Structure 1
Amino acid sequence: YIVDVAASFQAKYTLEILHKHGMDKGQSIGTPMATKPKLDADLSGNPVDQTDYRSKIGSLMYLTSSRPDIVQAVCFCARYQSRPTEKHLKEVKRIFRYLRGTINIGIWYPKGSSFELTAFLDSNHAECIDSRKSTSGGIQFLGDKFVSWMSKKQNYTAMSSTQAEYMALSASCAQVM
């Protein structure tokens, strides 16, 4: 217990899911997702157990409530729950390997900071190889405290990077409101 600080940690839960999914041993890794190769539907890949894949994704989704550092990687992997392949499972296992080395990361809410609302957002253009849709990401702070974050594939296909940015801005403004 630390005076004047509220914190959100899920170290115990992280250890539990690492054990549950057989990922509690081995080498950790420094990032939750590789920059390349990018994930796609991988229609020619070897399918893996859909129930096990969904269980892993569900465990990770619950953890995103206190771990904004894994949100984008988990959301990318969650797109392929209907037909997961070895390629997708490899990326999910990478997230677990990252968690193994970052068990004690959480969110701190120190007392006494300002109440100025600040939002940051970004998008990519046509990042999804399967649909050519863009992904929006954003984070909101109240003073120096995290209050909200998101990563989401956009509903419409943007015709330009500018249009993708405007759609991300619209989503961020809606979240702030």
Structure 2
Amino acid sequence: MSREFEMSMIGELNFFLGFQIKQVKGGIFIHQEKYCRDLLKKFKMGDCKPISTPMSTNEHLDADVDGKPVDQSTYRSMIGSLLYLTASRPDIMFSVCLCARFQAAPKESHLTAVKRILRYLKHTPSIGLWYPEGAKLELLGYSDSDFAGYRVDRKSTSGVSWSSKKQSCVALSTAEAEYIAAGACCAQILYMKQSLLDFGVVCGSVPLLCDNESAAKIAKNPVQHSRTKHIDIRHHFLRDHEAKGDITITGVRSEEQLADIFTKPLGEETFCRLRNFFKIGVSRV
């Protein structure tokens, strides 16, 4: 780089744009502990009571039309700060993104949920990402359609409605909702494979882990079943890429479904166990 750019060496990198980098013999640890503590201080949560999870398992956030409004500017500032923190804290991704949906008209219930996230950060300020020396790159896909992928239709018990961005379609069973979600996951895997190829990294058949056996069978079976013929043809490209070998639909036990941490509030035991899949470490170690 010094041949192309005017540079000066000022020592080993240890701080960059709010990220703290520790380079030790066993690997590299990236965290945002200082940023996290400054964030708590900024929003007057430095002395708050710590809590072990960012969201309660029985918490349900909606528009809360009749709720008491709160200051939009403060709420948006909190969300923006937390979104930047997710770069090294995937454990708060679901709760932060859920709260971010209500920035247009935040209510007290939404602010309470955001403050709970800050209380969780008070409990875990030094968590970050650990990259061990000699680790090999492995691309895996986890697919789950619970909460973030589909919602049970409250007006009818006959089906499940699944939404993607601003478009929606109807699945008549959980298996079909899972199948549609797996299709969306497949599209992301193909994008990531192409991106890695630009860096000279060639990935073979990428495992796509799904905890719904029926959805996996729909993806593997080339026969168009009458029960799934109503699913839009655009979702069936999942079968094509399974047949081509771009991906491999693989079953995974529900307790090892990593996508759960991104799709629903979890209890403390399950949340902490799945959090460990990210190779998360603690900065003081």
TM-score higher than 0.5? yes
Cα separation, partners in 2 of 1:169 and 1:87, compared to 1, 3 Å: same
Aligned to 2:211: none
One-letter identity of the residue aligned with 1:65: A
Cα separation, partners in 2 of 1:75 and 1:13, compared to 1, 3 Å: same
Cα separation, 2, equivalents of 1:4 and 1:128? 49
Aligned residues: CA RMSD: 2.3
Unaligned runs of 5+ in 2: 1-22, 155-159, 191-285
One-letter identity of the residue aligned with 1:81: Q
- How far residue 155 of structure 1 moved from its aligned partner, in angstroms, is 4.4
Please point out which of 144, 147, 151 is paired with 1:126: 151
2:211 is equivalent to residue 171 of structure 1 = no
Please point out which of 162, 167, 171 is paired with 2:175: 162
One-letter identity of the residue aligned with 1:86: E
Does the Cα contact within 8 Å between 1:133 and 1:153 map onto a contact in 2? no
Cα separation, partners in 2 of 1:56 and 1:41, compared to 1, 3 Å: same
Cα separation, partners in 2 of 1:96 and 1:157, compared to 1, 3 Å: farther
SS in 2 for 1:113: coil
Cα separation, partners in 2 of 1:154 and 1:2, compared to 1, 3 Å: farther
Q: Which has the larger radius of gyration?
A: 2
One-letter identity of the residue aligned with 1:39: L
Does the Cα contact within 8 Å between 1:60 and 1:74 map onto a contact in 2? yes
SS in 2 for 1:32: coil
Alpha-carbon displacement from aligned partner over 1:91-132 (angstroms, at most 9, x marks no partner):
000000000010111110112223332222212131698xx8
Paired residues for 1:1-177 under 5 Å: 1-124=23-146, 125-126=150-151, 155-159=167-171, 160-177=173-190
One-letter identity of the residue aligned with 1:113: A
One-letter identity of the residue aligned with 1:83: A
Deviates more, 1:34-43 or 1:156-165: 156-165
Between the two proteins, the alignment pairs up a number of residues equal to 159
Does the Cα contact within 8 Å between 1:40 and 1:128 map onto a contact in 2? no
Cα separation, partners in 2 of 1:93 and 1:128, compared to 1, 3 Å: farther
Does the Cα contact within 8 Å between 1:47 and 1:86 map onto a contact in 2? yes
Stretches of 4+ aligned residues off by more than 6 angstroms: none
Cα separation, 1, equivalents of 2:97 and 2:153? 12
